[in-house]
Amino acid sequence: MEKTTYEMSLSKNVSVEVYPGDFAWGAATAAYQIEGGWNVDGRGPSIWDVFSHTKGKVFEDQTGDVACNSYQLWDEDLRCIQHLGLTHYRLSFSWSRLLPDGTANNVNPKGVAYYNKVINDLIAKAIMPMVTLNHFDLPQDLHLRGGWKSPEIANYFDSYARFCFKTFGDRVKFWITLNEPYVFAKLGYEDGLIAPGVKEPGSAVYLVGHNMLRAHARAWHSYHAHFRHLQRGKVSIALNSDWAMPSDPGSPEDVEAAERYMDFSLGWFACPVFRTGDYPESMRSRIEARSLELGLVEGERLPKFSEDEPTVLGTADFFALNYYTSRKVNMIHPGPGELSFRADQGVEGSIDPSWPICGVSWLAVVPEGLRKLLKYIKETYKNPDIYITENGFSQMGPVVLEDLDRCQFYHDTLQEVSKAIRDDGVNVKGYFAWSLLDNFEWTYGFSVRFGLFHVDFSRAERNRTIYCSGREYAAVISRHRTHIKLRKN
């Protein structure tokens, strides 16, 4: 299709010249959201199979049983990836497709063959895979053994990670251990909104977050000790964060509220890994004080890091950031009897009425928040290399293939990223759009579409059709590649 003048001008306006030559231009997906093939070729069940098969959990009781059918249609996905001209593709492994009961005692050869094909096909086209080991879909058998609440999970995860490093690490050079521990722990164990649907406010959330950090750290240390010298790859953990700004920048209370909002979201995981080896001071002191008020023992809710275990400090070779939105923040003053994460945090975020909402209600469009967040990470976490491992814009309701507002969104966002690199000196090394394809958007099912390609879920073929925004993104990548070639000559 001919490019519209509008589209051309948008992509031309992104200042591609500031991106480093080896910048990663990517898109991301996750196994349960795209693969389907939930019960074929020896795959074991995950907590998401169980959750989505439970009535009333997902929009219209939809499931990921088929989703984009990427398990059968990988060739189509590869065509989409090539069409965009991506240099990198972020996917996740389905743990229970590789190890049906979650343990390395029982390997599923068909699962290994599937991911070998995906990885080999990518490499053959000079596209670098970035692999997330676990993106929300814990094997159900491990959940029944205590799952993320059990300390044992770190052993299971470490064995799985070693299996993956050994099997695929000759070709995979970017590993993400876990995706968004904040979202998983908070929505899965505090609010009960996503799998495994546990609602134990103010307690399980910290235990699960802690075990996710322990599991991540174990896997990083395994890579570092046994694989790095041969494979020369990098390992990190994908952390999501809003950018929090004070409701009234002139109010010291609101300024403190915004800081605490960051501590309880990004800092919860980034502070142990990148800064101190422990949780942020504001988390420790608030949770302790409120525990005392509730008559609970100190350290019972927010666990302590054991000195007998490998340290979590320094267990990331780059900073993997998922950014979607921003919040205006102010203090709240919950009663002393309220046991919840929100009460511990003691702040609340709201959406500025001037920010457009795209698709889902939580997703206010604030591209400038990304630039501020990148600068904050540079200053707070020792100027790391940063990969933006997810960022995107959703549609709800009737499908619009000429999605000009999403084109505008990608344009504005990439503009902010280039300012972060050029004007703020942030080491941004890559950008992954969420998502390559419309897919199973967790509790929203297929009603929310994040893809650069539209997927027709009403047809068995699951036809993929590029959106205007996909062409826009492809044009930016192509301009960057041309620019690099010219610079070299």
| List of residues contacting ligand PNW (CB under 6 A) | 30, 33, 179-180, 183, 240, 322, 362, 390, 434, 441-442, 450
Nearest-angstrom CA–CA distance, 28 and 130: 9
Residue of 390, 416, 441, 472 marked active site = 390
3-state secondary structure at position 28? strand
**Residues 6 or more apart whose Cβ sits within 8 Å of residue 344:** 202, 264, 283, 286, 287, 290
Of 63 and 108, which CB lies nearer to ligand PNW in the complex structure? 63
Of 191 and 288, which CB lies nearer to ligand PNW in the complex structure? 191
* Residue 276 DSSP symbol: S
Of 231 and 241, which CB lies nearer to ligand PNW in the complex structure? 241
Taking the complex as a whole, the smallest distance from the CB of residue 351 to ligand PNW amounts, in Å, to 12
> Tokens at residue 59, please?
């929009």
Taking the complex as a whole, the smallest distance from the CB of residue 186 to ligand PNW amounts, in Å, to 9
Taking the complex as a whole, the smallest distance from the CB of residue 405 to ligand PNW amounts, in Å, to 17
Q: Which residues pair with 25 in a beta bridge?
A: 431
Nearest-angstrom CA–CA distance, 273 and 317: 10
Asked whether 124 and 74 are in contact (CB, 8 A), the reply is: no
Catalytic residue status for 180: yes
Residue of 7, 180, 190, 416 marked active site = 180
Taking the complex as a whole, the smallest distance from the CB of residue 36 to ligand PNW amounts, in Å, to 16
> Tokens at residue 351, please?
């959406």
Nearest-angstrom CA–CA distance, 290 and 293: 5
Of 183 and 365, which CB lies nearer to ligand PNW in the complex structure? 183
What phi-psi label fits residue 471: left (phi over 0), alpha (psi between -120 and 50 degrees) or beta?
Answer: alpha
Of 108 and 179, which CB lies nearer to ligand PNW in the complex structure? 179
* Residue 190 DSSP symbol: I
Q: What are phi and psi of 27, to 5 degrees?
A: -140, 160
Taking the complex as a whole, the smallest distance from the CB of residue 226 to ligand PNW amounts, in Å, to 28
Catalytic residue status for 402: no
The residues that are catalytic are 180, 390
